[in-house]
Each structure stands twice: as structure tokens, then as C-alpha cells.
Amino acid sequence: MKKLLNTAAPLAFWLLVWALCAWRVGRALLLPGPLAVGKRLLELAGTGDFWLSVGATLGRVFLGLGWGALAGTALAFATHFFPWADRLISPAIRVVRATPVVSFILLVYLWVARGAIPWVISGLMVLPVVWGALCAGLDNMDEKLLELARAYRFSRLKTLRLVCLPALRPQFAAGLLTAFGLAWKSGVAAEVLCPPARAIGSRIQQAKLGLETADLFAWTLAIVALSLALEGLLRRGLGKGERA
């Protein structure tokens, strides 16, 4: 009950602030109230197009998260164990990390199909985060454990499985949670700027062009709710894997 109250009280406070601001503005076109937005969200959720758009966006985001995490993991091990790879790859990854996502969206728009832009952009945002987390974990690896593995003449594969991977799991989990948020936000942003046929970002763009403010808020609320729910599921799954 205490946990429920701690969650519900801040939510109620900010909903009240939102309602008061909407009442003060007095124009639904500029700022619709929470009741109007909630009603519109329920109406949208009752349509098949809503769920098709949500499913398409989720597919693109998780595709980007997957390839970005795999590429970041591979590059982290390469740059850690091979000095020549570190000299070649590390500067390029730092450039990717420093470049604004809007620039990448506009550049990728010239090279790939519109439907592929969101997952390409999501992966580009995920890659540096996972790479940085694993590089930090590899650099801070316990040398005594590695020395023990050498003393017992572990093979490289056995050392990786029994020493490296368990030590890197917390860094990888933390990096993946951060990367998921970036993948979600950058993927939807790419859909808004380069709208595919079915996507949450496309519906946001349509709502903006049609001055349908309630729809704009409803889709934004759906994004926030999905992001929090999926992040919670991902956190729980990673936590169970760590305990196992």
C-alpha cells in the first residue's frame, strides 16, 4: 500500500497541475486537459491502426537495439584486445556519440529506404552506449581472477565464459537499459522526421499537421507508457538473469 501511494501521489499531483494549466489556458487547441487526452487515447486504442502502428514501431526499435548491442559488444572486445582496432575504431565511435541524432537522421535518409531509417538510427544510438559500458568493464576487470584463470590453464573460451562474462554482466545490463531509452526516443524521432507507412512517429506527424492537439498528446502519452512498461520488463528480465 505504501509503495502504491508513493507512486500514485506524484502522478495525481502532476495530473492536477496539467488540468489547472489547461483550465488557465482555456483553449483545447493549445493545451487539452488530461480527461480529453485520456478519452482520445482510449478511442485510439480501440482501433486496429493504433496497434499496428505500435507493433511496427516496437519492431523497428528492438531491431535497432539488437544490432546496436551486438555491434557494440563485438567492437568493445576488438578495441580492448587489439591495439590497432582501438586506434581505428574508437575515434569513429566517439564521433558517432557526439553527433546530434537529427544529423544522422537526415544523412541516413539519403542512403536507406524510409522504413529502415528508424532501426538504423536506433542502432547507431545504442552502439556507443554498449561499447562504452563494456570497455569500462573490460578495463576494470579483476586482474587476480585473470591470473587465477591462467594459473589453472583455462582456455580462452573458458576464461571468457567463467571469468569475463560474469564480471561484465552488470555493466552490460546498465548499458543496455540506458541504450533502450535512447533507441526508443531516437527511433520515434526518426519516424517523425521520415514517416514510414505505419508508425507511432507517423501518427504524431499527422496529428501535428492536422492541428489535432489531443491526438498529439494521446500518442505522446502512449509513447511514455510503453517506454516505462518495456523498460520495467527489461530491467526485471536483466535482474533475473543476473541472479541466475
Residue type present at position 221: L
Give dist(CA 91, CA 94) in Å, integer: 5
Global pTM value: 0.83
Q: Please name the residues in contact with 71: beta carbons below 8 A apart, sequence gap of 6 or more.
A: 123, 127
Q: pLDDT tens digits for the chain (244 residues)?
A: 777 777 778 888 888 988 898 888 877 778 888 888 889 899 888 888 889 989 999 999 999 999 999 999 999 988 888 888 889 988 998 888 888 888 888 888 888 888 888 999 999 999 999 998 888 888 887 777 777 777 777 777 777 777 777 778 888 888 888 888 888 888 999 888 888 888 888 888 888 888 888 889 998 999 888 888 888 888 887 766 555 5
DSSP characters over 46-105: TSHHHHHHHHHHHHHHHHHHHHHHHHHHHHHHHHHH-HHHHHHHHHHHHHHHHS-HHHHH
